[in-house]
Chain A
Amino acid sequence: MINKTKYRILRKKVLGTCLKLMDVEAPEIAAKGLPGQFIILRTDENGERIPLTIADLDREKGLVTIIFQEVGRSTDDLGEMEEGQYLQDFVGPLGRPSEIEAFGTVVCVGGGVGVAPIYPITRAMFEAGNRVISIIGARNANQLILKEEMKQVSHELFVVSDDGSVGEKGLVTAPLQSILDEEKVDRVVAVGPLVMMKAVCEVTRPYGVPTIVSLNPIMVDGTGMCGGCRVVVGGQTRFACVDGPEFDGHQVDWDEARQRARMFLPQEKAAREARGGGCACRK
């Protein structure tokens, strides 16, 4: 039953502090996946099911690219895996794909590791003929990812960091505000930490610009079976795994989403401590 002949890690690259990229052999998923969808993986038999939004796909080579931040025990374990090793499980594509159309002017906003999933969406928006303005941000220069890639698929790119070590010092909302003041924007797509996505939605709300966010709540199966990933959108409970992961950001109950993300904090801490360590940058 134990299947260790699939899902080989073909390439591993350190992108920044605690940020890693892996190309995983999964030809069927690579053939079918679309921007905005996610996969779930397990590193080993005792592992958690980790949901990660697809960062890129190579349909010809049959590769799925994932980019992740080592934020806890399971992503620490993943980060220690090397090229040539096999993941225990890799399932997808899950969730609904992004809505890609020629909207006109689209602003794509990515924060932290959220730049990874915003990249394929940005590229698809670019290829669909939109004027694409992108804003990417990170804590510092070491944590900024995919800057060159984003540049390739954007008509304009703004870069910000918390400490000013790369781009302008500040938050992604600053350039967003200026863009909205200067020109007509038809759509905003934002992926990043909950606080960032919430802030983006607050900035766009007065302008009435449709704002799509991608949520990554705690989930187990990813197929609508457990309901752990429920989020309230427009007063209705939805399952992020099958109804999302993208939702109308103006309708999301952000406070509840943040509360639910804290459900297992003590256990997450215990699991990391049981292993002793974690990514070096957090020590």
Chain B
Amino acid sequence: MPKINYVREKMPTQDPAVRVTNFSEVALGYDAQTAVLEAARCLSCKKAPCKDGCPVGVDIPSFIKLIKDGDFGGAINKIKEKNSLPAICGRVCPQESQCEKYCLLSKKGDAVGIGRLERFAADYEMSRGEAQLKTPAAPSGRQVAIVGSGPSGLTAAADLCLLGHDVTLFEALHTPGGVLVYGIPEFRLPKGIVAREIETIEKMGVEIRTNMVIGKIHTLDELLNSTYDAIFIGTGAGLPYFMNIPGENLNGVYSANEFLTRANLMKAYLFPEHLTPIYVGQRVAVVGGGNVAMDAARTALRLGARESFIIYRRSDKEMPARHEEVEHAHEEGVQFHFLTSPTAIEGDEQGWVKGLNCLRYELGEPDASGRRSPVPIPGSDFFMSMDTVIMAIGQGPNPLVPQTTPDLETNRWGNIVADEGTGRTSKTAVFAGGDVVTGAATVILAMGAGKKAAQAIDEYLKGL
């Protein structure tokens, strides 16, 4: 029995001082030697609890064993049996709260770096040129429309295509990928990788139609009355929330969605070569504690902000962001103000942001989410001078499809009501999954929902 190794192999990253001046990827990935060493840490335990932590059910011990044995091609094929977007998941999944959380090693030390190994296998395949394409089943003669080309839509499209259905993927923006393209920054998820995964899906036979705002150009009923037999809605959480405090419409206040869309999708960091402008100023406050907040705070530094602050009303322990992103943000100089929340944004005579009035909080009793709820401390108000304020307090479901589909049931937050196991909605032939159903969550949960819905749609189509 070899000695158990509780220490995870380090993944090289760009030096923090250098990377805050560029938009290149921060984490550089394992090389083959390191990957094999890390894979060798896996205990290959019989129960493999890690598998239960994966929303798409990747056979984790098997792919890790293949890496350990040096069969990197075999490893990626094993992953792809369940996950059509491994290069993306390896980078953005919150592994610490999913597969890695259940790793036996995590009881006494570091869990196996499952995400890093997944990324290694995917990058290995990419570096070898052409990805191995899976061949779709014989044509079923059925057509499926997928609305939204984010993680859930891409996954559903790939699976349905492989099952032999004729799939059209509708995207409202000019580039497919949804949040992978407009939301997650280049330095965390290079857009070349997303483009490549999408190309693979196109090569399999999925037709992608950009610039198509379903709900406007065609309603769901129009799609069903034309040639489509079923629809999957994966329109995501595209509606930014604001705090409804005074001053939110001052110049210099953005939703995180706007700020990140300008920077990522529109490439405003290359202004004026790319023509979409962005303004950051010297001091930037980002309100929120999730991945989107980290992305915005780190993007602001790269766009030239001198100081970037996270303002979060709970403590560091309650922050929903991935550990690695918080760590990277710290390294890059993002300053954290915990147990703090703004009560108003102050402006100057020209209508520009001048700063934030904030209150300090302390943690009280646990709330519905199980996290200790923040309670304001009376008389603790103070002012922080700021040039830009970015609201990253969450997003709601985009309302365009429900607005034009009266028989599609939504809950009081506007989320589409869908069965958890199948994605089935109140409307016949219409399925939904991802953030539009659950509210803003993770890439992998959306992919899991896309996967389940693809199975359910396949069964539905067989019954027609």
Contacts and interface: CB of A to CB of B under 8 A. Distances in A.
Verify that A and B bind, or say they do not. Answer: yes
Interface of A: 1, 3, 28-29, 32, 42, 46-49, 73-74, 77, 88-94, 220-228, 230, 232, 237, 242, 256, 259-260, 262-264, 267-268, 270-271, 274
Contact of B258 (A46, A226, A274): A226
Interface stretch (B21-29, B33-41, B273-281): B273-281
A47 B275 contact: yes
Interface size on B, as a range, is 35 or more
B248 A237 contact: yes
Contacts of B199: 1
Contacts of B213: 91-92, 94, 222-223
B272 A274 contact: yes
B279 A267 contact: yes
Given A74-B275, A225-B261, 5 more contacts: A1-B175, A48-B275, A92-B216, A224-B398, A260-B351
B249 interface: yes
Interface string B179-198: 00010000000000001001
B174 A91 contact: yes
Given A32-B216, A226-B257, A220 B276 contact: yes
A263 to B, nearest CB: 5
Contacts of B277: 264, 267-268, 271
Interface in B190-239: 195, 198-199, 210-213, 216-218, 238-239
B398 A225 contact: yes
Nearest to B396: A224
A77 B276 CA distance: 13
Contacts of B261: 220-221, 225-226
A73 B398 CA distance: 31
B272 A230 contact: no
B5 to A, nearest CB: 44
Nearest to B347: A259
B248 A242 contact: no
B251 A221 contact: no
A91 B172 contact: yes
Most buried by B among A88, A223, A270: A223
Interface in B231-270: 238-240, 242, 248-252, 254-255, 257-258, 261-262, 266-267, 270
A274 B270 CA distance: 13
A175 B337 CA distance: 58
A281 B199 CA distance: 45
A49 B266 contact: yes
Contacts of B252: 263
B398 A256 contact: no
B400 interface: yes
B240 A42 contact: no
B262 A223 contact: no
Interface of B: 172-176, 182, 195, 198-199, 210-213, 216-218, 238-240, 242, 248-252, 254-255, 257-258, 261-262, 266-267, 270-279, 350-351, 398-400
Nearest to A6: B211
B216 A226 contact: no
A242 B262 CA distance: 19
Contacts of A225: 182, 238-240, 257, 261, 398
Contact of B216 (A90, A94, A228, A230): A94
Given A223-B213, A242-B399, A42 B242 contact: no
Contacts of A268: 277
A242 B172 CA distance: 14
24 contacts: A42-B174, A46-B275, A49-B174, A49-B276, A92-B213, A220-B266, A223-B173, A223-B213, A223-B398, A224-B238, A225-B238, A226-B258, A228-B258, A256-B351, A259-B350, A260-B251, A262-B251, A262-B350, A263-B252, A264-B277, A267-B277, A271-B275, A271-B277, A274-B272
Contacts of B255: 226-228
Contact of B217 (A29, A89, A222, A224): A29
B254 A228 contact: yes
B266 A270 contact: no
B216 A88 contact: no
Nearest to B241: A227
B222 to A, nearest CB: 9
A19 B278 CA distance: 27
A271 B272 contact: yes
A267 B303 CA distance: 14
A217 to B, nearest CB: 11
Given A91-B174, A226-B258, A1 B249 contact: no
B240 A226 contact: yes
A220 B275 contact: no
B271 A91 contact: no
B217 A221 contact: no
B275 A73 contact: yes
Nearest to B268: A267
Contacts of B271: 267, 271
A282 B398 CA distance: 40
A237 B255 CA distance: 13
A237 B242 contact: yes
Nearest to A37: B216
A278 to B, nearest CB: 14
A263 B279 contact: yes
Contact of B249 (A49, A93, A237, A242): A237
A79 B398 CA distance: 33
Nearest to A29: B217
B242 A224 contact: no
Contact of A264 (B173, B198, B279): B279
Contacts of A89: 174, 210-211
Contact of B257 (A73, A227, A259): A227
Contacts of A74: 275
Nearest to B237: A225
Given A91-B172, A221-B173, A256-B351, A32 B217 contact: yes
Contacts of B242: 227, 237
Contacts of B251: 259-260, 262-263
A46 B172 contact: no
Contacts of A242: 399-400
Contacts of B175: 1
Given A74-B275, A92-B216, A270-B272, A223 B174 contact: no
Contact of B400 (A48, A77, A223): A223
A91 B270 CA distance: 24
Given A3-B210, A267-B271, A270-B272, A220 B258 contact: yes
A35 to B, nearest CB: 15
Contacts of A260: 249, 251, 351
A3 B397 CA distance: 29
